[in-house]
Amino acid sequence: EVQLVESGGGLVQPGGSLRLSCAASGFTFRDYWMSWVRQAPGKGLEWVANIRQDGNEKSYVDSVRGRFTISKDNAKNSLFLQMNSLRPEDTAVFYCARVERAFTYGRHLHYFDYWGQGTLVTVSS
């Protein structure tokens, strides 16, 4: 059974830092792209970052690029999100998600087939 368990959320002051972790089990972690997706209170889903299977390709939404860093440790089956220079608008539940990707008939397939339960990050003074 695929399981994704996030941790590391909490209350942090504006300008502060936080490191989120996601422990993966039930699948061969090193074979998958992984993502972070967030959801502000009462709002919709927002993709935050992606990382390739080997960790050598990463992408970010514009609003976090340069402040957040995604990484993965395939030996420990873990995904991370280092968040620096946090802002009140970063307040959200952060989900870890496994990615399924393909390129078929000239179109990209990229979707999130398993999600964790989420961890709440609150940025406030």
Kindly list the residues in this chain that would bind other proteins in the complex (CB under 8 A). Answer: 35, 37, 44-47, 50, 59, 61, 95, 100, 102, 104, 107-113, 115-118
Q: Name the residue nearer to other proteins (CB basis): 59 or 85.
A: 59
What's the min distance (Å) between Cβ of 83 and other proteins?
18
Phi then psi dihedrals of residue 14, to 5 deg: -55, 135
DSSP sequence for 65-100 = BTTEEEEEETTTTEEEEEE-S--GGG-EEEEEEEEE
Cα 125 to Cα 72: distance, rounded to the nearest angstrom: 30
What's the min distance (Å) between Cβ of 90 and other proteins?
17
Q: Name the residue nearer to other proteins (CB basis): 29 or 95.
A: 95
Q: Name the residue nearer to other proteins (CB basis): 16 or 52.
A: 52
What's the min distance (Å) between Cβ of 111 and other proteins?
4
Q: Name the residue nearer to other proteins (CB basis): 19 or 110.
A: 110
Cα 68 to Cα 45: distance, rounded to the nearest angstrom: 18
What's the min distance (Å) between Cβ of 124 and other proteins?
22
What Å distances lie between residue 14 and 6, 38, 44, 47, 100, CA to CA?
Answer: 22, 18, 22, 21, 34
- Quickly count: other Cβ atoms within 10 Å of residue 58's Cβ: 15
